[in-house]
Structure 1
Amino acid sequence: GILERAAKRAGFRDVVFQFEPVAAGLDFEATLSEEKRVLVVDIGGGTTDCSLLLMGPQWREKADRQQSLLGHSGCRVGGNDLDIALAFKCLMPLLGMGGDTEKGIALPILPWWNAVAINDVPAQTDFYSAANGRLLNDLLRSARDSEKVSLLLKVWRQRLSYRLVRSAEES
């Protein structure tokens, strides 16, 4: 593939690729003095990969790890999804999500979701639209806790969605 060709052009002769969790577990394997069954979970930005591996001294020098790979699975849920969920559940209530108007009508949830959905281009486009800016100003005027809603409007005005989700990641 393209990565193998690039490596060979860069001067590497023997190029071997590993499943991500195998590569992630190699550092841990260096600490083992005997063979163990090891579950390696690699949560990346967009995917989570899990492998059950045999690891230990007898496997360290082997480039081909097929015999040590007991099972592997992956899904398209990764760290970014976790960060977004954390921002939505923990931070957005601080910005007025779940609140209501002075008349007791629940505020719509969609503006808060779109604010943190940084991996969803249509949601971000909607959040930063002029129409949503008008909606946020309307919500600010009618919200029981307008101070919190003003923070969501600040996210909109200063285009802080990405920074907000990163702050959830760092917490």
Structure 2
Amino acid sequence: MTIPSPALACGIDFGTSNSAVGWKRPGHAPLLPLEDGKPTMPSAIFFHDEDAAVSYGRAALADYLAGYDGRLMRSMKNLLGSSLIDGHTEIRGRGVPFRALLTHFIAQLRLRAQEAAGREFTSAVFGRPAYFVDGDAAADQLAQDTLGEIAAAVGFTHVEFQYEPLAAAFDYESQISREELVLVIDIGGGTSDFSLIRLGPGRAAMPDRRADILAHGGVHIGGGDFDRQLSLHSFMPLLGLGRQLRSGKDVPSTQYFNLASWHTINFAYTNKAWEHLSYIHANAAERDKIELLLHLVKERAGHWLALQVEKAKIELSEAASTCADLGRIAGGLALDLTRADLERATAPLIDRIENTVAALLRDADVAAQGIDTVFFTGGSSRISRLRERISALLPHARSVEGDLFGSIGAGLALDAARKFG
């Protein structure tokens, strides 16, 4: 009997929040261990100021939270398709191109995958969202081209791309025994992507699946957007957002918006931003709240606050209430939150996601009762109200939760085996 050989190529899920690498091997789980035996690694880098050390993933977040001096970068995927990709940021006193930071992280993904697999990978299928950029085909293509250039720069000589919800669909297909019409709902860190696809054991080996795809789309809303809205709605008012200057004008909101988004937090630490905050403090009607903001920025605790927001969002996806400990900003400071707070903050985002799914079904000319299964993946697909709205839209479909952080990587591994052997 011939024993199947391991695939020649890997699948890379470079995610906004977490990343994974999949490799199809007979008798083994598809995801390779990237950090401490775990199959996913947070998409984060921490550059230490005191030496040349660089840490990645959970270690990067741990070093930052431990109080080491340095620069934390997270949600770097959001730079693809934005004007920032060709810009620079300051690390250890010098300007470093944002493009170089993405190259640095993806090179580390390849290195760790090769160490875990015990072999070199020169071919890969990279996941990509339905749209890196909404409503701008040229910018969207430029984002994919940029990712392809980075992949080549780190050593991949052959690169293909696959839509992330389709990769998740391939992972689900490997687990079913009959044909189904499946709507894949992938709510990632930066985008929400949807695919309506026919799946089944008899279709899995087909090299060209285009005829099975009835509809495909997405919207640039992800977990980071849910975090940002919860931060602006519930956390930032504690620091003065929505308050007034002595002149009667509203406190300027720029710094609050910077602190509410992972990839712009560091903008709040520039000398220009500090001068702006000092002006706001001098002219604020309620200086005590602005003093909390000044302390947060002085301590460079913006990423810490973003982690507290993210933690609260995750907890409110499972529980009716939670309490965020904000003692790092001021002793004894805490914020009580309910699921209703999360739902109010994120209602416009969920409306857009529901409307996008409804439009996708209309475009495919598929009735709701024709959908067999809704397959959820991506960490923010756990949000209760989101699932309730999708279930109301498709009341006859059964809901299946995949590996929220691993389905895409596993599906990309299957696709890499099909494409490269």
- Normalised by the size of structure 2, how large is the TM-score? 0.33
Range with greater deviation from structure 2 (146-155 or 56-65): 56-65
- The Cα shift of 1:97 comes to 0.1
Amino acid aligned to 2:209 = R
> In the aligned structure 2, how far is the partner of 1:66 from the partner of 1:135?
53
Structure 2 residue 186 is the aligned partner of structure 1 residue 42: yes
Number of the residue aligned with 2:395:
none
> In the aligned structure 2, how far is the partner of 1:93 from the partner of 1:24?
38
Number of the residue aligned with 2:243:
99
Contact 2:227 2:260 in 1 (8 A): no
- The Cα shift of 1:76 comes to 4.2
Identify unmatched segments of 5+ residues in structure 2: 1-8, 12-120, 125-158, 313-421
Q: 1:115 to 1:17 in 2, by over 3 A?
A: closer
- The Cα shift of 1:169 comes to 2.3
Give CA-to-partner distance per residue, 1:112-149, whole Å, 9 cap, x none.
Answer: 122224334xx843x22223323323333443333322
Number of the residue aligned with 1:11:
none
Matching residue within 125, 145, 152 for 2:286: 145
Amino acid aligned to 2:163 = F
Equivalent residues in 2 for 1:31-110, closer than 5 Å: 32-62=176-206, 64-102=208-246, 104-110=248-254
Number of the residue aligned with 2:296:
155
- The Cα shift of 1:62 comes to 4.3
- The Cα shift of 1:101 comes to 3.1
Q: 1:168 to 1:64 in 2, by over 3 A?
A: farther
Q: 1:104 to 1:37 in 2, by over 3 A?
A: same
Identify unmatched segments of 5+ residues in structure 1: 9-14
Give identity over the alignment, percent: 34
- Normalised by the size of structure 1, how large is the TM-score? 0.70
Number of the residue aligned with 1:165:
306
Number of the residue aligned with 1:12:
none
Equivalent residues in 2 for 1:118-137, closer than 5 Å: 118-120=262-264, 124-125=266-267, 127-137=268-278
Amino acid aligned to 1:91 = F
- The Cα shift of 1:100 comes to 1.3
Q: Which has the higher strand share?
A: 2
Q: Which has the higher helix share?
A: 1
What is the DSSP-based 3-state SS (H/G/I as helix, E as strand, rest coil) of the residue aligned with 2:189?
coil
Number of the residue aligned with 1:7:
123
Amino acid aligned to 2:263 = N
What is the DSSP-based 3-state SS (H/G/I as helix, E as strand, rest coil) of the residue aligned with 2:198?
strand
Contact 1:117 1:124 in 2 (8 A): no
What is the DSSP-based 3-state SS (H/G/I as helix, E as strand, rest coil) of the residue aligned with 2:202?
helix
- The Cα shift of 1:65 comes to 2.8
Contact 1:34 1:56 in 2 (8 A): yes
- The Cα shift of 1:86 comes to 3.0
Q: CA RMSD in A?
A: 3.3
